Amino acid sequence: MSNGIPAVMYHSVGIVDKTWHWNYLTCPYEVFENQLKWIERCGYKTLTFQDVYDYVINEITVPKKSVLLTFDDGYLDNYVFAYPLLKKYGMKGTIFVNPDFVDTSKGLRKTLDDAATINDIQNLKKIGFCNWEELRKMDQESVLDVQSHAKTHTWYPKSDKIIDFRHPGDEYIWMDWNENPENKPKLQYIDWSKAQLGKAIFEHEKALSSKRVFINEEFQLKLAEYVRRNGGVDFYKNPNWKAILFNVADKLKKEYVVLEKTETERDYLERITYELDFSKREIEKRLNKKVSFFCWPGGSGTKEGVKIANELGYVMSTAAADISKLRKKIKNSPDFKINRLARITPIMFNNWSKEDNNSKIVYSPGWYFVLQFLQFNNKYYATIWMRYLKYLIYKVKTYV
């Protein structure tokens, strides 16, 4: 039996910002460095996506202890924190970016290497996304290989069924992305003073997962206008605000045709093709390189989408919903020759109390991180140790 290569999925790496709704995506940079130390201590070698592909498909030998580190979305802190730490330990990885989110700024921003004190580290710019110059630098230095993550990385309505309404503190930031696509690199946070509160949230899905429906914008603007006329943010102090808006929406449906258009199957497939093709060509043009690998945003791959990806020249992509029954069989080894990559998350606890560390997730300390590699390769003793140690830690937390 061939050895499997654990592929680790990160997003943001840096300093947890409790004001960001998705702060659980941030692995603290100190924890990340501890993980790298344990990778080094235990003799693991980091690979690129190309290395894994060559091993799985072409059976080209790689070190027995190998790991692939991947980073989704192209957050700025990948350049500010992850990149200098990977360089420090002589390691590498793969970063998946969406051209829509690449920052339009020029020049290289400061990284952890430029910070001399804790105060300097705290003052490093952390919010936002990498620009093309930063991506080019990381790629050319062979520290972070830049690959595709589709163009938009958003959600779209899939039916005319209303499930919610825009309200302060909601997580429907994709509405802002879709309404202001040119500002996507700056929309990591919702500006509630500008968000169109009151707009209906319809049943929705990841952009690449299903056909899109188009909603009458006048209907939406009438809902937003109602909220503005009735106090704006203060409107939501009424505990019955959602019932009120559902009632307003029902009345408006008598005046407006809510659903204007539904994508045909051809429209849908053409949109997927455009997304995947644009992202590939844009990265290749900007970085003067070949892009061969694809990461499905939110596991949004469908059978049709995977076929299109293959036709466009992507030779391998991440596992997605289309092969949910097979995902556990994929160990990124020649024993199961499939051009899909299975990934694990560097997480020890999920749904942890946010009060403890400003995030609902606790990222794996280095020693636990390495046990995850062993578990990925079906090492039974690793699973037993992981469960036992997690139990002890949870009990200590409970009784302190």
- pTM for the model stands at 0.93
pLDDT on residue 354: 46
CA–CA–CA angle 314, 318, 321 (5° rounding) = 115
Q: In one letter, which amino acid is 273?
A: T
142-174 burial by CB neighbour count: b if 16+ within 10 A, else e?
A: ebbbbbbbbbbbbbbbbebebebbbbeebebbb
- Measured distance CA(242)–CA(91) in Å, rounded: 50
- Measured distance CA(301)–CA(210) in Å, rounded: 10
Q: In one letter, which amino acid is 149?
A: H
Q: Do 122 and 128 form a contact (C-beta atoms < 8 A)?
A: no
pLDDT per position as a tens digit, 199-250: 999 999 999 999 999 999 999 999 999 999 999 999 999 999 999 999 999 9
Q: Do 26 and 16 form a contact (C-beta atoms < 8 A)?
A: yes
pLDDT on residue 140: 98
Q: Do 6 and 68 form a contact (C-beta atoms < 8 A)?
A: yes
pLDDT on residue 394: 67
Q: For 139, how many CA atoms within 13 A lie in the half-sphere containing its CB?
A: 24
Low-confidence ranges of the chain (pLDDT < 50): 354-357, 398-400
pLDDT on residue 398: 45
- Measured distance CA(274)–CA(209) in Å, rounded: 14
